[in-house]
């Protein structure tokens, strides 16, 4: 994957270029000379993470496997999102990045393109076997390299008010065509009620829907990035939601507002396209409807398909500034594949693990309290997670997401052309990449 920039704008090294292009990992990106492997004494690692309760999880390592291997990890709590990415890049520029960092999947290309993350493919053992292919792919960027170990994921699914679907004689939609007809049927039965809303304040939701449809927003050809945010798959998704908004079949207001919370809590909106973490949000947004919701797989574009998108999730990566990459990779693999570590993450941090071996055990043998009426919640979730579609992130996701909020925000408010908004998103993303010095095609 060519992530180099032209002229003096690149901070990426020649050895990293070779790895990103899919070549065999070079010694410069490896860790065979790691102090731990050389048996030269104890190793201390620093881990930047925003996950709550991570210090308690890491205590298990420090008192168990880590103590045995003489590898101690210290947690340093950080902000999340772009704030942490900027801090990591600033620290790396000074040669002072920590050994380990938590990184959202869409941030990995940015960090790799700045030579901030090490290829740990030689030190991950059998970790790959613990994850669905579509999940693992997010940490390889489509190459033979491995830039992180998946930690948590957000497979998407369909949530609906079971009682109100019965009241309005609605059937849970299996396809997006059925979803549209369900929205229209509800409007006829109850004009003041909406099936759901299109929210322009959450680009991650739209990205996941496009991913499910087969979108590949950033890919590569030789030494060139190919940007396809307005590809056929995404145009289909944009047109679908734009048409529903334009005809008034669904609402056009953003999520996570007092008005949205009230709509969910009072039954004025009776469904939500979301991810596995939705129960936590509904607990706060719609407390009076506990036990009245149910979860089902995401509607499909064609009858009989079985694929979902991903909304959210993060990984544990090792930085190129670490002097102990093998030790750091060993901890990252343990943290995200060990049964005890995963159950501790679920208990202390409330995450939905990326590792398949933890998705139906321990904390996930009983449904979320909010969904106590659906005993098979996590069994279904685990099956849905297996069908996660591959993603294709690029080095300036933040620019694409910002433009989405502006362009789609205006389109949703005005009930105007969503595909035109998508083209704006494409144009802004390409322009920014060219400005940064990347070779780009469309």
Q: How far apart are CA 94 and CA 84, in angstroms?
A: 15
The pLDDT of residue 21 is above 90:
no
The CA dihedral of 378, 383, 389, 395, to the nearest 10 degrees, is 30
Tokens 């690029």 — which residue? 394
The pLDDT tens digits for 410-433 are 999 999 999 999 999 999 999 999
Q: How far apart are CA 424 and CA 406, in angstroms?
A: 10
DSSP structural state of residue 415: T
Tokens 């408010």 — which residue? 413
What is the pairing mode between strands 149-161 and 310-318?
antiparallel
Which of the residue ranges 42-46, 81-85, 258-262 would you say has the lowest mean pLDDT? 81-85
Copy the structure tokens of residue 230. Answer: 């307005």
DSSP structural state of residue 238: H
Q: How far apart are CA 283 and CA 290, in angstroms?
A: 7
DSSP structural state of residue 101: E
Nearest Cα residue to 400 out of 424, 366, 368: 424
Alpha helical stretches, state H, 81-202: 81-93, 108-113, 133-136, 162-167, 176-189
Q: How far apart are CA 345 and CA 358, in angstroms?
A: 10
pLDDT at site 5: 53
Give the containing element (helix H, strand E) for 157.
Answer: strand 149-161
Q: How far apart are CA 362 and CA 343, in angstroms?
A: 6
Q: How far apart are CA 125 and CA 350, in angstroms?
A: 26
- The burial class, CB within 10 Å (0-12 / 13-18 / 19+), for 433 is buried
Tokens 């050809």 — which residue? 221
Prediction pTM value:
0.89
Q: Which residues contact 62 (CB under 8 A, 6 or more apart)?
A: 72, 73
State the pLDDT confidence band at 22, using cuts at 50, 70 and 90: very low
Mean pLDDT on 139-167: 96
Mean pLDDT on 72-96: 95
Contact 102, 87 (CB under 8 A): no
State the pLDDT confidence band at 112, using cuts at 50, 70 and 90: very high
Return the ∠ at Cα 187 (arms to 372 and 373), rounded to 5°.
5
The pLDDT tens digits for 219-271 are 988 778 999 999 999 999 999 999 999 999 999 999 999 999 999 999 999 99
Look at the alpha carbons of 397, 400, 404, 406 in this order and tell me if their dihedral is positive or negative: positive
Contact 122, 324 (CB under 8 A): no
Nearest Cα residue to 123 out of 353, 332, 319: 332
How many other C-beta atoms can be found within 10 angstroms of the C-beta atom of residue 82? 15
The pLDDT tens digits for 318-369 are 999 999 999 999 999 999 999 999 999 999 999 999 999 899 888 899 999 9
Copy the structure tokens of residue 345. Answer: 């993450």
pLDDT at site 82: 87
Q: How far apart are CA 109 and CA 91, in angstroms?
A: 17
Q: How far apart are CA 376 and CA 365, in angstroms?
A: 9
Q: Which tops the pLDDT comparison, 29 or 369?
A: 369
């Amino acid at each position: 994957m060519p992530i180099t920039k032209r002229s003096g704008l690149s901070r990426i090294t020649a050895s990293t270029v070779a790895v990103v292009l899919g070549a065999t990992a070079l010694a410069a990106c490896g860790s065979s000379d790691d102090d731990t492997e050389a048996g030269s004494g104890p190793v201390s690692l620093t881990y930047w993470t925003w996950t709550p309760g991570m210090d308690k999880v890491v205590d298990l390592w420090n008192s168990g496997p880590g103590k045995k291997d003489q590898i101690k990890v210290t947690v340093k709590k950080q902000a999340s999102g772009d704030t942490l990415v900027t801090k990591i890049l600033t620290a790396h520029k000074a040669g002072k990045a920590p050994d380990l960092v938590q990184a959202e999947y869409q941030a990995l290309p940015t960090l790799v393109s700045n030579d901030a993350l090490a290829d740990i493919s030689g030190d991950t053992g059998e970790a790959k076997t613990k994850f669905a292919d579509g999940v693992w792919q997010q940490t390889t960027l489509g190459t033979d390299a491995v830039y992180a170990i998946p930690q948590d994921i957000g497979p998407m699914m369909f949530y609906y008010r079971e009682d109100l679907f019965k009241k309005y004689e609605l059937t849970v939609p299996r396809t997006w065509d059925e979803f549209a007809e369900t929205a229209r049927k509800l409007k006829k039965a109850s004009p003041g009620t909406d099936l759901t809303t299109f929210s322009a304040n959450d680009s991650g939701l739209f990205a996941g829907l496009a991913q499910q449809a087969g979108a590949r927003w950033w890919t590569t050809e030789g030494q060139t990035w190919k940007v396809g945010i307005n590809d056929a798959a995404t145009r289909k998704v944009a047109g679908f939601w734009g048409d529903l908004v334009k005809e008034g079949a669904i609402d056009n207001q953003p999520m996570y507002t007092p008005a949205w919370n009230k709509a969910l809590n009072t039954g004025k909106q009776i469904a939500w396209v979301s991810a596995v973490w939705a129960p936590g949000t509904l607990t706060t947004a719609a407390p009076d409807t506990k036990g009245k919701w149910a979860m089902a797989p995401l509607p499909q574009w064609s009858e009989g398909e079985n694929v979902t998108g991903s909304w959210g999730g993060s990984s544990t990566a090792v930085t190129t500034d670490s002097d102990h990459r093998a030790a750091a990779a060993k901890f990252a693999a343990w943290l995200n594949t060990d049964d005890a570590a995963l159950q501790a993450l679920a208990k202390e941090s409330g995450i939905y693990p990326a590792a398949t071996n933890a998705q139906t055990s321990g904390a996930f043998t009983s449904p979320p309290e909010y969904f106590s009426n659906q005993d098979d919640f996590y069994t279904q979730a685990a099956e849905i997670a297996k069908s996660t579609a591959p993603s294709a992130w690029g080095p300036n996701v933040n620019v694409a997401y910002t433009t989405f909020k502006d362009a789609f925000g205006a389109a949703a408010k005005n009930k105007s052309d969503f595909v035109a908004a998508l083209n704006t998103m494409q144009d802004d993303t390409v322009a920014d990449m060219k400005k940064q010095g990347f070779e780009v095609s469309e």
